[in-house]
């Protein structure tokens, strides 16, 4: 029996939002400004075994991305616990993890160091990352000059080549040109067949999830509506949409 790679138990996450207020009121009544609390995740619990590929589906705003950020450590839950059982984890999402002022090359090193890799280990992998990303001509340019497709290529290449135990993917497989999307899809298939990685994928592309996922978690209004076999849950989700 496989061990649990991810254990999420009774996790809730809330955001504090400023109520709509005029600039004048904000300037002269700063202490009186009230904050609204929006609960994004509500008592979420599930386990993911080593080597499992689990898809996460749901409407925009239901809490999918927030869940991945909480698992990656970017956000701290208000309640509950997340246990990765000493596994390394990386989050693949647009706009997350890059220093805008640094070059793509420097961001590869920064990402690797944040994952706990040593300089020598990164030097062994960096050319492979650059080659896979197809950004050789732009790798020395600052990331702030990159298009969304270029960011996607760099982000996926770093995550795929540096090979953390747990990979969290937030919609990135649907970004970029057709040729690169096919390459990322094949790389994901390779990771899945390897069964050495545990993967959580957030995606609106249900056909991709049917092909690669062992299970599906369906989130609705911050709560788990259903979990189960991929084809069964996606069929129910499509019927509800």
pLDDT tens, 179-203?
Answer: 888 888 788 778 767 778 899 999 8
pLDDT at 220: 96
DSSP letter (8 states) at residue 59: -
pLDDT of 149 > 60? The answer is yes
* pLDDT band at residue 32 under the 50/70/90 scheme: low
pLDDT of 155 > 80? The answer is yes
CATH superfamily of 4-87+165-240: P-loop containing nucleotide triphosphate hydrolases (3.40.50.300)
The arithmetic mean of pLDDT across residues 24-41, rounded, is 68
Nearest to 6 by CA among 181, 197, 176, 218: 197
Query: Are the C-beta atoms of residues 66 and 75 closer than 8 Å to each other?
Result: yes
Give pLDDT tens digits for 6-24: 999 999 999 876 666 556 6
2 by DSSP, 3-state: which? coil
* pLDDT band at residue 28 under the 50/70/90 scheme: low
Query: Are the C-beta atoms of residues 97 and 167 closer than 8 Å to each other?
Result: no
Cβ count near 151 (within 10 Å): 24
Query: In the sheet that 35-49 helps form, which strands lie side by side, from edge to edge?
Result: 35-49, 4-18, 79-83
Residue count of the chain, please give it: 241
pLDDT at 24: 60
Query: In the sheet that 166-170 helps form, which strands lie side by side, from edge to edge?
Result: 89-93, 166-170, 198-202, 53-57, 215-220, 223-229
The arithmetic mean of pLDDT across residues 93-105, rounded, is 83
Domain ranges of the chain: 4-87+165-240, 100-159
> What proportion of the chain, given as a percentage, has pLDDT over 90?
52
Q: Which helix (H) or strand (E) holds 62?
A: none
Query: Are the C-beta atoms of residues 224 and 194 closer than 8 Å to each other?
Result: no
pLDDT at 45: 98
Q: Say what the pTM is.
A: 0.81
97 by DSSP, 3-state: which? coil
């Amino acid at each position: 029996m496989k061990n649990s790679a991810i254990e999420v138990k009774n996790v809730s996450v809330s955001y504090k939002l400023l109520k709509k207020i005029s600039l004048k009121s904000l300037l002269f009544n700063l202490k009186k400004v009230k904050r609204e609390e929006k609960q994004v995740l509500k008592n979420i619990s599930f386990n993911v075994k080593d080597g499992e590929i689990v898809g996460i589906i749901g409407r925009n705003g239901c809490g999918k991305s927030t869940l991945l950020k909480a698992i990656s450590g970017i956000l701290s839950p208000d309640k509950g616990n997340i246990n990765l059982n000493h596994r390394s984890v990386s989050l693949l999402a647009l706009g997350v993890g890059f220093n805008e002022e640094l070059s793509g090359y420097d961001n590869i090193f920064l990402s690797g160091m944040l994952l706990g890799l040593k300089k020598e280990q990164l030097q062994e992998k960096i050319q492979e990352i650059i080659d896979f990303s197809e950004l050789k001509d732009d790798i020395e340019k600052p990331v702030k000059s990159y298009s969304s497709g270029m960011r996607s290529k760099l982000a996926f290449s770093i995550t795929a080549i540096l090979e953390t135990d747990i990979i969290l993917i937030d919609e990135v497989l649907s970004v970029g040109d057709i040729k690169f999307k096919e390459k990322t899809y094949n790389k994901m298939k390779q990771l899945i067949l390897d069964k050495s990685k545990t993967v959580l994928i957030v995606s609106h592309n249900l056909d991709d999830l049917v092909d690669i996922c062992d299970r599906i978690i369906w989130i609705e209004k911050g709560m788990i509506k259903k979990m189960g076999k991929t084809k069964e849950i996606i069929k129910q989700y499509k019927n509800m949409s």
